[in-house]
A and B are shown apart, each in its own frame.
Chain A
Amino acid sequence: MVLVLAIGDLHIPHRAPDLPAKFKSMLVPGKIQHILCTGNLCIKEVHDYLKSLCPDLHITRGEYDADARYPENKTLTIGQFKLGLCHGHQIIPWGDLDSLAMLQRQLDVDILVTGHTHQFKAYKHEAGVVINPGSATGAYSSITYDVNPSFVLMDIDGLRVVVYVYELIDGEVKVDKIDFKKTANTQSAH
Chain B
Amino acid sequence: MEDEAPGNGTGNAGAMGKKGVPEWLNSSLWASSSSPPASASTTAAACLFRSPPSPKPEAPKRAPIPEPGSPPSPKPEAPTRASIPEPPRPPQPPSEAPRPSVEAPPDDRSPSRLSQEEVSRQSQLLAELSKKVVNIGELRRLASQGIPDDTGIRSIVWKLLLGYLPYDREFWMQELAKKRSQYKAFKEEFLMNPSEMARRLEESAGHKNEELETGGRGFLMRSEITHDEHPLSLGKTSVWNQFFQETETIEQIERDVKRTHPDMQFFCGDSSLAKSNQEALRHILIIFAKLNPGIRYVQGMNELLAPLFYVFRNDPDQNNAAYAEADAFFCFVELLSGFRDNFCQKLDNSVVGIRSTISKLSELLKKHDGELWRHLEITTKVNPQFYAFRWITLLLTQEFNFVDSLHIWDALLSDPDGPQDTLLRVCCAMLILVRKRLLAGDFTSNLKLLQNYPQTNIDHLLYVANKLRGSSAG
Contact = CB atoms under 8 A, between A and B. Distances in A.
Interface in B218-275: 218-225, 228, 230-234, 244, 247
A25 interface: yes
Interface in B169-227: 193-196, 198-199, 202, 207, 209-213, 215-225
Chain B, interface residues (CB within 8 Å), range = 20 to 34
Contact of A124 (B199, B202, B212): B212
Contact of B230 (A122, A128, A177): A177
Given A1-B194, A122-B222, A164-B225, A181 B217 contact: no
Given A30-B247, A122-B222, A178-B220, A164 B212 contact: no
Contacts of B225: 164, 175-177
Contact of A126 (B215, B228, B244): B215
A180 B230 contact: no
A177 B220 CA distance: 10
Interface stretch (A65-73, A135-143, A155-163): A155-163
A153 B32 CA distance: 66
A1 B192 CA distance: 11
A15 B211 CA distance: 38
B232 A31 contact: yes
Given A1-B193, A126-B217, A176 B222 contact: yes
A123 interface: yes
Interface in A82-129: 97, 110, 121-126, 128-129
A157 B230 contact: no
Contacts of A182: 211-213
A124 B218 contact: yes
Contacts of B219: 121-124
Contact of A166 (B194, B232, B244): B232
A166 B218 CA distance: 21
Given A25-B234, A153-B230, A164-B225, A183 B217 contact: no
Contact of B195 (A25, A157, A178, A186): A157
A97 B220 CA distance: 13
A170 interface: no
Nearest to A176: B222
Contact of A183 (B202, B211, B216, B247): B211
A27 B244 CA distance: 13
B212 A180 contact: yes
A181 B234 CA distance: 27
From B195, B207, B218, residue with most partner A Cβ within 10 Å:
B195
A147 interface: no
Contacts of A37: none
A3 interface: yes
Interface in A27-79: 27-28, 30-31
Given A153-B232, A155-B195, A179-B202, A124 B217 contact: yes
A157 B209 CA distance: 14
A12 interface: no
A181 B222 contact: no
Contact of B217 (A123, A175, A186): A123
A122 B198 contact: no
Contact of B234 (A26, A126, A183): A26
B223 A110 contact: no
B210 A180 contact: yes
A165 interface: yes
A40 B195 CA distance: 31
A164 B220 contact: no
Contact of A153 (B217, B218, B220, B231): B231
B166 to A, nearest CB: 41
Contacts of A179: 202, 207, 209-210, 223
A123 to B, nearest CB: 6
Nearest to B241: A31
From A126, A128, A177, A182, residue with most partner B Cβ within 10 Å:
A177
A176 B223 contact: yes
A166 B225 CA distance: 11
Given A122-B222, A175-B225, A180-B220, A129 B232 contact: no
From B194, B224, B232, residue with most partner A Cβ within 10 Å:
B232
A159 B219 CA distance: 20
A153 B198 CA distance: 15
Contacts of B232: 26-28, 31, 153, 164, 166
A128 B213 CA distance: 8
Contacts of A129: 212, 220
A20 to B, nearest CB: 13
Nearest to A3: B231
A103 B225 CA distance: 32
A153 B194 CA distance: 15
A121 B92 CA distance: 68
B134 to A, nearest CB: 47
What 4 A-B pairs come out closest when comparing CB atoms?
A179-B209, A1-B195, A180-B210, A26-B232
Interface of B: 193-196, 198-199, 202, 207, 209-213, 215-225, 228, 230-234, 244, 247
Given A165-B222, A182-B212, 19 more contacts: A26-B232, A30-B244, A97-B217, A122-B220, A123-B219, A123-B220, A124-B212, A124-B216, A124-B220, A126-B216, A155-B195, A157-B196, A164-B232, A166-B232, A175-B225, A175-B228, A176-B222, A177-B223, A182-B213
